[in-house]
Chain A
Amino acid sequence: MQLRVRALETILTEKGYVDPAALDAIIEAYETKIGPHNGARVIAKAWSDPAFKQELLADGSKAVAKLGHVSRVGDHLVAVENTPKLHNMVVCTLCSCYPWEVLGLPPVWYKAAPYRSRAVKDPRGVLGDFGVKLPADTEIRVWDSTAETRFLVLPMRPAGTDGWSEDKLATLVTRDSMIGTGLAKNPDGA
């Protein structure tokens, strides 16, 4: 693939469609600036600031835009809250729709057939693949991202974190906890 891709870039460059330096800049942004740490800041703030949490759940795009984020999120971000009774999980069965602006590029498993096929039918089985077991009576809500709406899961705040700063809370927020295939980390690292 390396040669095939390089050939295409040569053609696009020679024809004057793209400046390779501009491609470098896009790649650098996704490698260094845009990633799950952005989403983790949003979640940590929602855990710390009840007013922000309400704004986030009411209008995800507007609330995140207010943070002056490194990457603006566009118009269609919806945050959904996990509770002891309800667990949210996000998938794109048709392709790979994912909230790039807050989580970066999706991991391979998110874009691959096993997750896309099973998430909507056997989410508990999928969670088991991630080592997550929920109580039998927890309702599971799967959001299939079939339009341009993008979903961010607001995981439950771990116990034992009273008084923690937003920066410290953000270290407990994993990428998978914001997709709904994981839970936030506990303060003891578990």
Chain B
Amino acid sequence: MDGVHDMGGMDGFGKVEPEPDEPVFHADWEARVMAMNRAMGAGGAWNIDMSRFAREALPPHVYLSSSYYKKWQLGMENNLIERGYVGADELAAGRALHPAKPLKRGKFTLESVARVMTRGSFTRPEQAPARFKVGDRVRCKNIHPATHTRLPRYVRGHVGLIERIQGCHVYPDSASLDHGDDPQWVYTVVFDGRELWGDDGDPTLKVSIEAFEPYLELVA
């Protein structure tokens, strides 16, 4: 979706402000939000792309004015309601009112922790051979799906080179909608800065994205 989350190249957000000796969390609740989100994901309530989509789908003014973990909390609440694990009435009451909908992989217990600490693999069996090879010139398609996509706006319509083939992975545009993995080849596509930003762009800059094959077309 063409949301405010897709920030590459936008102006006006000001300077980057590194925080010296930054703590891992700035409040206890941030840690609980992070852990609950991981736990419910590990239990099978959602996948990482559904999690991202729920945050992107927050109203733009909410997205821009909420801290990172507040966005996680709001996205998680919406996902829990939408997927039937928690009722809006339960959130309002602050306690359970209805029987639980079983989690696909069951309750998240101490024995489950090791599983979330190991990052899962996103590699899946290929559906077809890779269409592009290293060195191919490709154009990013001019697409604007209203749903989740990982093709940022700032590269759409622009031409780059296939630099690496990263494997065949879960396709977020499908997985975010619960339509299955629909595995697609992932490529590192590198662009000249001036291809993206015009003649005023930094001549020493190159930018790459990780692009799923359906985002790309060959340039003859």
Write the residues of chain A forming the contact surface with B, with a CB cutoff of 8 angstroms. Answer: 1-2, 4-12, 14-19, 21-27, 29-31, 34-35, 71-76, 78, 91, 93-96, 100-101, 104-105, 107-109, 111-124, 126, 129-130, 136-149, 176, 181
- Residues in A whose Cβ lies below 8 Å from that of B110: 19, 21-22, 25
Q: Does the CB pair A144–B152 fall under 8 Å? A: yes
Which residues between 130 and 189 of chain B lie within 8 Å of chain A, taking CB atoms? 150-152, 154, 164, 166-167, 169-170, 172, 186, 188
Q: Does the CB pair B7–A93 fall under 8 Å? A: yes
| Any A CB within 8 A of the CB of B199 | no
Q: Does the CB pair B150–A19 fall under 8 Å? A: no
- Residues in A whose Cβ lies below 8 Å from that of B6: 93-94
Write the residues of chain B forming the contact surface with A, with a CB cutoff of 8 angstroms. Answer: 5-11, 13-19, 22, 24-29, 31-36, 38-40, 43, 45, 52, 55-56, 64, 68-70, 73, 76-77, 80, 85-86, 90-91, 94-96, 100, 103, 107-110, 112-113, 116-123, 150-152, 154, 164, 166-167, 169-170, 172, 186, 188, 190, 196-197, 201-202, 204-212
Q: Does the CB pair B18–A14 fall under 8 Å? A: no
Given A11-B86, A26-B34, A146-B151, A1 contacting B27 (CB threshold 8 A): yes
A23 in complex: contacting residue of B35, B118, B167, CB < 8 Å: B35
Please name 16 pairs of A and B residues whose Cβ atoms are closer than 8 Å in the assembled complex, sorted by A: A2-B28, A11-B91, A17-B40, A17-B85, A22-B108, A26-B117, A74-B121, A93-B9, A94-B8, A94-B52, A95-B5, A104-B24, A109-B18, A140-B204, A144-B207, A181-B18
The minimal Cβ–Cβ distance linking A152 to chain B, given in whole angstroms, is 13
Q: Does the CB pair B188–A149 fall under 8 Å? A: yes
Given A100-B119, A120-B8, A9 contacting B32 (CB threshold 8 A): yes
Q: Does the CB pair A142–B9 fall under 8 Å? A: no
Q: Does the CB pair B204–A11 fall under 8 Å? A: no
Which 5 A-B residue pairs are closest in the complex by CB-CB distance?
A74-B119, A93-B8, A147-B210, A7-B94, A14-B96
The minimal Cβ–Cβ distance linking B28 to chain A, given in whole angstroms, is 7
- Residues in A whose Cβ lies below 8 Å from that of B201: 121
- Residues in B whose Cβ lies below 8 Å from that of A8: 36, 73, 76-77, 80, 86, 91
Q: Does the CB pair B208–A142 fall under 8 Å? A: yes
Q: Does the CB pair A105–B19 fall under 8 Å? A: no
